């Protein structure tokens, strides 16, 4: 079945450019992080699976770049404007072991996807659907759950430590993304606002933490 073509736009809105930029950058950040996590994986199976997921995020970037390009967005320039937006989170949160690394990556990029999807909700069709579809396909959550759930269930001390760590990650990320919105108001021109985005981020983080058996 042929995908619907995007409406021709001589000059894309700044909102569209900003959201495409964040969505594309989120894919590159995730790809880089999954590859870095692969380098720390305890066994070859996890290493290879993470490298596969890293490649899949590059594929998602290409899909989003095509969508943005068809809508008139200079995709690379749009994404470049948001480079470094999660640097504060990375600099303040250094995982001590494989489990903390998985929790950090799972929450950080899960929340980044929630953020990008909430911003994209006001995009015109068919751009909106194609952006949401590209963002929604990510297998890291299932991978992290398989790696963590058994240990968390069997070790209350590990569960407590990872719960505290996860809450730190969530707090840092919400603060960072709120600063991104304050600095780039074009992102919320589609109808979202800081309060509604905070709710989306908090709810998504709570769901992910509980899914791992951790207290929020």
Instruction: Give residue 193's domain range.
Output: 14-211
Rg of the chain taking only CA atoms, in angstroms: 17
CB contact set of 179 (below 8 Å; sequence gap of 6+): none
List the one residue out of 27, 51, 31, 30 whose CA is nearest residue 41: 51
Q: Is 3 inside any structural domain?
A: no
Lowest mean per-residue pLDDT among 86-90, 111-115, 159-163 = 86-90
Contact 123, 213 (CB under 8 A): no
Looking at 16-88, which runs of residues are DSSP E strands?
none
Taking the model in full, what pTM does it have?
0.90
- Distance between CA 28 and CA 189 in Å, rounded? 24
Confidence of residue 1 (pLDDT cuts 50, 70, 90): very low
Closest CA to 180 of 138, 119, 117: 119
The answer to the question of residue 111 being in a domain is yes
Q: In this structure, is residue 2 part of a structural domain? A: no
Across 24-57, b (16+ Cβ under 10 Å) vs e yields bbbbebbbebbbebbeebeeeebbebbbebbebb
The total number of structural domains in the chain stands at 1
User: Backbone dihedral region of 81: left (phi > 0), alpha (psi from -120 to 50 degrees) or beta?
Assistant: alpha
Residue burial 139-157, b: 16+ Cβ < 10 Å; e: rest: ebbebbbebbeeebeeeee
Per-residue tokens: 164: 């505290």
CATH number at residue 112: 1.20.1260.10
Residue 79 lies in a domain: yes
The answer to the question of residue 35 being in a domain is: yes
Residues 6 or more apart in contact with residue 136 via CB below 8 angstroms: 113, 117
Closest among 20, 83, 27, 80 to 53, alpha carbons compared? 27
How many C-beta neighbours within 10 Å does residue 81 have? Answer: 15
Please indicate, yes or no, if residue 28 is contained in any of the structural domains: yes
Whether 72 is in a domain gets the answer yes
Give yes or no for a cis peptide into 119 (omega within 30° of 0). no
The answer to whether position 4 is within a domain reads: no
Mean pLDDT of 72-101: 95
Q: What is the mean pLDDT of the chain?
A: 93
111-135 pLDDT tens trace:
999 999 999 999 999 999 999 999 9
Q: What is the pLDDT of residues 3-46, one digit of tens each?
A: 555 544 456 899 999 999 999 999 999 999 999 999 999 999 99
């Amino acid at each position: 079945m042929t995908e619907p073509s995007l409406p021709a736009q001589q000059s894309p809105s700044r909102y569209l450019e900003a959201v495409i930029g964040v969505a594309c950058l989120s894919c590159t950040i995730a790809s880089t992080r999954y590859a870095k996590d692969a380098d720390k994986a305890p066994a070859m199976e996890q290493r290879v699976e993470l490298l596969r997921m890293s490649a899949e995020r590059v594929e998602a970037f290409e899909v989003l770049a095509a969508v943005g390009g068809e809508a008139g967005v200079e995709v690379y320039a749009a994404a470049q404007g948001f480079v470094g937006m999660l640097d504060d989170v990375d600099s303040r949160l250094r995982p001590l072991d494989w489990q903390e690394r998985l929790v950090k990556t799972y929450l950080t990029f899960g929340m980044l996807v929630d953020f990008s999807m909430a911003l994209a909700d006001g995009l015109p069709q068919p751009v909106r659907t194609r952006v949401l579809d590209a963002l929604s396909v990510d297998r890291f959550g299932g991978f992290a759950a398989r790696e963590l759930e058994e240990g968390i269930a069997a070790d209350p001390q590990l569960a407590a430590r990872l719960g505290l760590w996860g809450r730190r990650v969530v707090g840092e990320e919400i603060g960072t993304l709120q600063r991104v919105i304050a600095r780039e108001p074009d992102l919320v021109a589609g109808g979202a606002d800081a309060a509604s985005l905070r709710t989306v981020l908090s709810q998504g983080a709570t769901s992910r933490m509980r899914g791992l058996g951790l207290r929020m």
